[in-house]
Structure 1
């Protein structure tokens, strides 16, 4: 199975798969299904592969995260391990400068424990990570680049979730430093037309992949998320 075969209709957006060992930024405003999209992609992919993955949640507890996924009809694969860092925020907030290193060490240690069958990781979210770090922006970019490059060398496909503070429109081309560090950007947003609001998905970039640049409707069905062509 390909990553793009994990969500109904996503293989219409992509002609080729998301390249292995790449870093993909999943970005959007609150309520645009970023966690659900990423979790379903990894869980469904791993369920059909002889591989394993790691999902790191820095905001929600594991229990709350799984309840949220269940409410959207998204199943958990036994091959996707969930690490809950929410307790770290409570216990070690005064000693958080080393969190980026701790995060990287946890990911690499998990891969060592699992072996070469460990293929993908998700970090949910970068905003929660930034809130725990007292680092200047230019230093953050260097440190984040170093971590992501190390994950690439570990042959991990990495998904980074980033919540935007503002509700950007489909005509907004802006991106932060994360967009320059990532190989791909999948934008999830909300499109308002009169009194009707539709969630949408748009692939802003994906190196070494062929894909549509247009927005597609993203919705929740009985069996998880679904992507289909709509009129905007």
Structure 2
């Protein structure tokens, strides 16, 4: 029996046939503003609120104050309390980029990564994480080392990844092969705003729905809806899966 980690996100766990495979690493890709960081915040927050699972949030882009404000603005009111009592551990860019050296940053993380109290991790973002490295070979070596450490310590991890195109790029990078799952967040402009979609392209050891599903970002976070015709406007009365 494959153990699953529920995201707690309405509709997404149904697409995933119950959740993300436990002790796996999933890449969440999308262009700027697609909702990658919100998905990461919601995954960590729901872990504490719904499933009694503690989480570690790594941000190479924001400081801790900005992360807290972003979480609270989307409706995760207890974020600061969970950080204060240790249920959520935040490493922000001021800590992670202090030495400009990944080995030093990894040394800071190891005690918490190896702590059995934590079950979830988010790395936001892999794009900034890669700036540590001078060449492709060094990036490959450390990314492989890092994902191995996460698996050995039984952390179910989401890594966000920036992409410039609206649709998933056909140029598949190393990170796609090193991760167990691939989730793409897609947004398309319309005359009245933006349509948002989620596509779970891969999840090892798991049967998944591979259609493209409409999603919304509202107060309270992300909701995924039943699949309308691809890239059509979502009806107002459409309910979560």
TM-score of the two chains, using structure 2 as the length reference = 0.82
Answer yes or no: is 1:153 the counterpart of 2:152: yes
Aligned to 1:179, which of 164, 168, 176?
176
Residue 9 of structure 1 corresponds to 11
2:113 and 2:150 in contact (8 A); partners too: no
Counterparts of 1:23-42 in structure 2, within 5 Å, are 23-42=25-44
Name the counterpart of 1:226.
223
Query: How many pairs does the alignment contain?
Result: 220
Question: Could you tell me how far apart the structure 2 residues matched to 1:11 and 1:50 are?
Answer: 17
- What is the rounded CA distance, in whole Å, between the counterparts of 1:104 and 1:121 in structure 2? 14
Mapped to 2, the partners of 1:51 and 1:197 lie a distance apart of: 33
d(CA) in 2 for partners of 1:4, 1:193: 32
The equivalent residue for 2:94 is 86
Q: 1:87 and 1:146, CA in 2 relative to 1: closer, same or farther beyond 3 A? A: closer
Post-superposition shift, 1:43?
1.1
Q: How does 1:67-216 map to 2 (within 5 A)?
A: 67-75=69-77, 76=79, 78=82, 79-86=87-94, 89=97, 91-92=98-99, 96=100, 98-99=101-102, 101-112=103-114, 115-131=115-131, 133-164=132-163, 166-169=164-167, 172-192=169-189, 197-216=194-213
**Equivalent-residue separation in structure 2 for 1:138 and 1:209 (angstroms):** 31
CA deviation vs aligned residue, 1:95-133 (integer Å, no higher than 9, x gap):
x2x32x233323321144xx32211211111111222x2
Q: Which runs of 5+ in 1 are unaligned?
A: none
Please, what is the CA RMSD of the aligned residues? Answer: 2.2
Distance 1:51 1:111 in 2: 14
Work out whether residues 57 and 86 of structure 1, in 8 Å CA contact, stay in contact via their aligned partners in 2.
no
Cα offset, 1:180, TM superposition: 0.7
Moved more, 192-201 or 140-149: 192-201
Is the 8 Å Cα contact of residues 27 and 158 (structure 2) preserved in structure 1?
Answer: yes
Counterpart-to-counterpart distance in 2, 1:180 and 1:138: 15
- For structure 2, the residue ranges without an aligned partner over 5 or more in a row are 232-241
SS of 1:8's equivalent in the other structure is coil
